[in-house]
Amino acid sequence: QRPGERKVVRTVKYPLKVNVWGCLSNSGFGRIVCFQHNLTSDLLCNEIYQNALLPTARSHFGRRHNWVLLEDNDPKLPSRFSIQWRQEHHIITLPWPSHSPDANPIENLWSLIKTKVSNQKPKTIKNLKRAIY
């Protein structure tokens, strides 16, 4: 940069974005789900819980129902539909205080994923998802 010249910092106007849902237990990390739509109760229950949470729970705990689901306070989570779905599938949830990410163990997973994505600098949604997985 020459004297008198302004430094130009390039930024991405519309960064790539996907939503990520993940789970873990004392047995290790579970399945991760990437999705580009807004999270709805239907997506949460019939796709994410059905295809990621329940298979992870079976893998980590077998057929026992002695595990508890801890979730953040996303407004879709306490909908009538999702509450009924969890009850029908014998999923017990633990109430979680708002704005307490420091105590939530999933934050460690998000930190690892953010670092991995930042290091890989993906340019497409496909590469972003690949970096996340």
CA of 58: how far to CAs of 2, 17, 34, 41, 52, in Å?
Answer: 62, 30, 21, 22, 10
β 28-35/19-25 pair status:
antiparallel
pLDDT at 109: 87
In a domain, 8, yes or no: no
Total count of domains within the chain: 1
In a domain, 13, yes or no: no
pLDDT at 101: 62
Instruction: Locate all alpha helices (DSSP H) within 25-91, ordered by sequence.
Output: 41-43, 54-61, 80-88
Q: Are the C-beta atoms of residues 128 and 18 closer than 8 Å to each other?
A: yes
In a domain, 7, yes or no: no
pLDDT per residue over 50-86, tens digit each?
999 999 999 999 988 789 998 877 776 778 999 999 9
The domain that holds 35 is classified in CATH as 3.30.420.10
In a domain, 30, yes or no: yes
Q: Are the C-beta atoms of residues 44 and 82 closer than 8 Å to each other?
A: yes
Structure-model confidence comparison of residues 118 and 95, the more confident one: 118
Domain that holds residue 112: 19-127
